Amino acid sequence: MRRTLRPAVFLLLLASPPAAAVAYGQAATRLETVVIVGGQEPASPIPTLFANSASNRAVSELLFLPLARLGPDNVTSGDKGFVPQLARSWTRRDSLTLVFEMDRRARWQDGTPVTARDAALAINLARDPAVDAQTALLMRLVAEATAPDESHLVVRFTEAYDEQLYDAVYHVYPLPAHLVDTIPRGALAKSAFATAPVGNGPYRWTRRVPKQQLELTAYDQFFLGKPGPRRVLYLTVGDAEARMNLLLSGDADVLAAPGTVSSVARVTADKRVRVYPMPTTIVGYLSFNQRDPADLNRPHPILSDPAVRAAIVKALDRRGMVQATFGSWASVPEGPVPQLFWIRDPGYKPAAADPAGARAQLVSRGWTDSDGDGVLDKAGKPLALTLNYPSQDAARGQLALQVQEQLRQVGIRIEINRLDGPVWVERRNRGEFDLDFAQGAMDPSPAGMVQSWSCAGRGGANKAYYCNPKVDSLLALALRAPKKEALSLYRQAVRTIAADAPAVFVYTLTTPMAVNARIRQVELIPVAPWSAVWRWAPGPSR
Amino acid sequence: MTRWLVRRTLQAVVTFVVVTVLLFVLMRLTPGDPLERLAGDRQMSAEAVAALRHKFGIDQPITTQFTSFVAGALAGDLGVSIEHYPTKVSTLVLSRLPASLLLGGTVLLLTFGIGIALGVFQAVKRRSRADRWLTRASLTLYAMPSFWLGLVLAWFFGIRLQLLPVAQMHDPLLDPDASWLVRTGDVLRHLILPAVTLTAVSLAAVMRYQRTALLEVLRLDFVLAARARGIPERQVLWRHAWRNALFPVVGLLGLWLPMLVSGSVFVEQVFNWPGLGSLAADAVGARDYPVILGTAMLVSAQVLLGGLLADLAYYALDPRVRQA
């Protein structure tokens, strides 16, 4: 071979996928592996202890099982409709006590049986605010968990309410007591268990390359069945375009939430990829600050007036904005009610935008365009507000521009602040905003509304300091009421919140989950998307 | 020579210290709290945030923080990452260094290798059709944003033709026990698109420098004299003219040496190349102060070293510098 040709042949060999595949001997491995690509790194996918991000929580579903899962209708109230997992069954001893019978087939991946002691340890850890303040708050009605023997777990509650089972199984997953109990709580983050967790789910931890990939291997002794995909790789890819390229080139099999409507269209146009809709607990809303950002002890000079807030809501064409940004992958919620809430009113239709009515309402509150500059003013002060949103969210950026333009037409000047993530969080926490474009993944239980929309939530998740005692009372009554009555009380609370207009509730999302067509039997469970991956059937590329 | 070298090194050290102090102070003045972000999408109590702040030492006065940082740095400890707790900054930086060196080294090699060759070719064939087309092509590539070119190449070669990997440095499915030959081939396959992207957008500068420098030298009397003495044209070009036309390119190389470690943030992100550029960008986004400082110090050191090496090269190549 001529010397000059050698480099070209070498490059051709490198570039040839079949040659490379043969050289790697990877064809068989490829068939048996599911590659998931995401933007956030699941650095510590350990439930109860470190589940502080969506990716940690999602990936922990591959490693750990709960006592029981929410059923397909996502009803969080009552003792029925849940799907047994580590607990084979549960009975009610009295209105304050639940007794779980553990499934004796369950094993930790080091061979140790999963016992009631593991579940009791996790529940008691979760009640400790030093471990995780937010989980401790959610578990505040759990008095204690004990394990009288290996097979039975007794959970006692401080009061009778309809979501006891949900609280016991949703927020906490059993942890291996034989490994965790000996670690001082302050040393958990540095422990061997944190860096290579031992779970009881269908996959076991194999290796992690920080910020790059996490590799999990099928655990063949998994008591619910042998996992189909032999390996699951989770790739962390920060750039949205790179994630999309990996999916479209076939190097990755699964991509959650490809992004705005144009990105989703790119995915749906590719026949090698199927898109599955997955309802979520995500709600996007524009919070109105109730406090003056310049002096947090005073009410907001403009937004403390409910009529002004209601006029802003009235002025916006939320349906049009959501359609333009997300296409059919989102809808306008009635209040802080995501698609997965069982209390959601399926017949709800948002009122049409009424810019003229909104302007008239503002004029009736004394806001007029006295200097003819197109911006309403009162006592010499213009109706001008800032809108903060995090720069990494393109969808909220698009929506912010639409909000700015639609409010301009009624005489409200909006200054958009596109902020770097940490700066946005800092300003939000400090109350330094007029309008804050927030997006939250809520708990599947409507009782979780207490965190962001009650007087008690002020200083915590309730960044805008909205407070209406009537809402608090309705939420408290709903929590303790039986399902049918609770439904009516929750809906009343939602309508009261919507009427108060503490925020513009802009969208609730359905996540498009893009999966390579080579994977069959795809089943996605909304609140735990990867928990059924072990039942998927990967096949050859199409 | 020794005195010159000592003086030059001292200057570099002083600059490095000033840059480090400035970086440390400016970083603390930047808005955004790393710990509030660290809480993820859950709420953290003020006490929990305060405890974390204490754990990472950022509740201390800035002078105390700086003193403890300097003490650690002198002992080779750049601290612990906030985002990747409890991983040490040095471990993170060292884990990303090989990828950066590989990409940066390949790009420098290709840019200067191809750029010098094409620049010489253009100078020799000045005002020819080839010269004009090469100028147009290189300037077109130069004008392209690297991330955009990267996306186009990834789409064409990765998605459309399915010839090359679109991202990553390794095939994640590659057997960890694969032979070194297979591993090398795998890395090279993944290297092609990011390296070609960066080379394409930076080639024009070297070509233009080399072309202009050589054209100037080719006009000088000593070249005419060499030709008059009957020295073959190839020898005139490479032994006499080119060596003298190399100084500007050497200066340029000194300026570009930091690319070896800093890479290109955009290209690293588009191709998910696990280099220091993307580590630094992620650290800035997370306000991970120790990692920002660690990577910035490395790049500063590289800039200063690049300048020093360029001066040394001038010193070695140009007798006039030695006499000055």
- pLDDT, tens only, B73-84: 888 888 888 877
Interface test with A, best of B166, B169, B264 (most A CBs within 10 A): B166
- Tally Cβ neighbours within 10 Å of residue A466: 23
Q: Considering the entire predicted model, what is its pTM?
A: 0.83
Chain B contacts of A425, Cβ < 8 Å?
Answer: 32-33, 36-37
pLDDT score, position A274: 92
- ipTM entry: 0.80
Are the beta carbons of B172 and A441 separated by less than 8 Å? no
* Beta strand A68-69 pairing with A83-84: antiparallel
* Chain B: closest CA distance from residue A67 (Å): 23
Nearest to A238 among B162, B171, B269 (CB): B269
pLDDT score, position B87: 81
Residues of chain B with pLDDT under 70: 36-48, 262-263, 320-324
CA-based radius of gyration for chain A: 26
Beta carbons within 8 Å of B75's beta carbon, 6+ residues apart = none
CATH T-level assignment (fold) for domain B95-323: MetI-like fold (1.10.3720)
Are the beta carbons of A20 and B43 separated by less than 8 Å? no
CATH of A280-510, one of 3.10.105.10, 2.60.40.10, 3.30.70.980, 3.40.50.10420: 3.10.105.10
Question: Which of A146-155, A195-204, A253-262 shows the lowest per-residue confidence on average (mean pLDDT)?
Answer: A253-262
* Chain B: closest CA distance from residue A352 (Å): 32
Q: How many residues does chain B have?
A: 324
* Beta strand A97-102 pairing with A87-94: antiparallel
**Backbone torsions φ then ψ of A532, nearest 5 degrees:** -105, 10
Spell out the domain ranges in chain B: 2-74, 95-323
Are the beta carbons of A17 and B163 separated by less than 8 Å? yes
What's the pLDDT band for A1 if we cut at 50, 70, 90? Answer: very low
* DSSP letter, residue A196: S
Evaluate the CA torsion angle A23, A27, A29, A30 in order and state its sign.
positive
CA–CA dist A359, A406 (Å, integer): 12
- Tally Cβ neighbours within 10 Å of residue B290: 26
Nearest to A237 among B159, B272, B285 (CB): B272
Interface test with B, best of A425, A443, A463, A516 (most B CBs within 10 A): A425
Longest pairwise C-alpha distance within chain A: 88
Angle of the A318-326 helix axis to the A261-268 helix axis, nearest 10: 40
Are the beta carbons of A238 and B175 separated by less than 8 Å? no
The residue-averaged pLDDT of A117-124 equals: 95
pLDDT score, position A129: 78
- Tally Cβ neighbours within 10 Å of residue A341: 26
* Chain B: closest CA distance from residue A375 (Å): 31
What's the pLDDT band for A288 if we cut at 50, 70, 90? Answer: very high
CA–CA dist A463, A372 (Å, integer): 35
* DSSP letter, residue B264: -
Question: Which letter, b or e, does each residue of A241-272 get, where b requires 16 or more Cβ atoms within 10 Å of its Cβ?
Answer: bbbbbbbbbbbbbbbbbbbbbebbebbeebee
Answer left, alpha or beta for residue A74, where phi above 0 means left and psi between -120 and 50 means alpha: left
- pLDDT, tens only, B89-130: 888 888 888 999 899 999 999 999 999 999 999 999 998 999
**Element (H or E) spanning A124, and its range?**
helix A116-126
| Residue A326, CA atoms < 13 Å, CB-side half-sphere | 23
């490059």: which residue's tokens? Answer: A11
Size of interface A-B (CB pairs under 8 A): 152
What's the pLDDT band for A441 if we cut at 50, 70, 90? Answer: confident
CA–CA dist B262, B104 (Å, integer): 8
Tokens of B214: 């050589």
* DSSP letter, residue B242: I
User: Mapping DSSP to helix (H, G, I), strand (E, B) and coil, where does residue A21 land?
Assistant: helix
């006295």: which residue's tokens? Answer: A370
Q: What percent of chain A has pLDDT over 70?
A: 93
What's the pLDDT band for A24 if we cut at 50, 70, 90? Answer: very low
* DSSP letter, residue A201: S
Chain B contacts of A189, Cβ < 8 Å?
Answer: 85-86
**Backbone torsions φ then ψ of A83, nearest 5 degrees:** -105, 120
CA–CA dist A67, A87 (Å, integer): 5
CA–CA dist A523, A509 (Å, integer): 19
Amino acid in the structure at residue B24: F
* Beta strand A381-382 pairing with A377-378: antiparallel
Nearest to A212 among B32, B151, B274 (CB): B274
H helices within A5-114, ranges in order? 5-15, 17-24, 27-32, 54-63
CA–CA dist B291, B287 (Å, integer): 9
Does the pLDDT value for residue A27 go beyond 70? no
What's the pLDDT band for A106 if we cut at 50, 70, 90? Answer: very high
- Omega prior to B86 cis, within 30 of 0: yes
Amino acid in the structure at residue A190: K
Range ranked top by mean pLDDT from A46-50, A245-249, A419-423? A245-249
Q: Are A285 and A337 in contact (CB under 8 A)?
A: no
**C-alpha angle B189-B194-B195 in degrees, rounded to nearest 5:** 85
- Identify the burial level of A346 via C-beta atoms within 10 angstroms of its C-beta, where 0-12 means exposed, 13-18 middle and 19 or more buried: exposed
CA–CA dist A122, A143 (Å, integer): 14
Spell out the domain ranges in chain A: 1-64+201-253+518-542, 68-186, 280-510
The CA-based dihedral angle spanning residues A58, A63, A67, A72, taken in that order and rounded to the nearest 10 degrees: 40
- Strand ranges (E), A364-434: 377-378, 381-382, 384-390, 413-419
**C-alpha angle B155-B160-B165 in degrees, rounded to nearest 5:** 60
**Backbone torsions φ then ψ of A444, nearest 5 degrees:** -65, -15
pLDDT score, position A377: 94
CATH T-level assignment (fold) for domain A1-64+201-253+518-542: D-Maltodextrin-Binding Protein; domain 2 (3.40.190)
pLDDT score, position A23: 46
* Chain B: closest CA distance from residue A350 (Å): 28
CATH 3.40.50.970 fits A68-186, yes or no: no
The CA-based dihedral angle spanning residues A490, A495, A496, A501, taken in that order and rounded to the nearest 10 degrees: 130
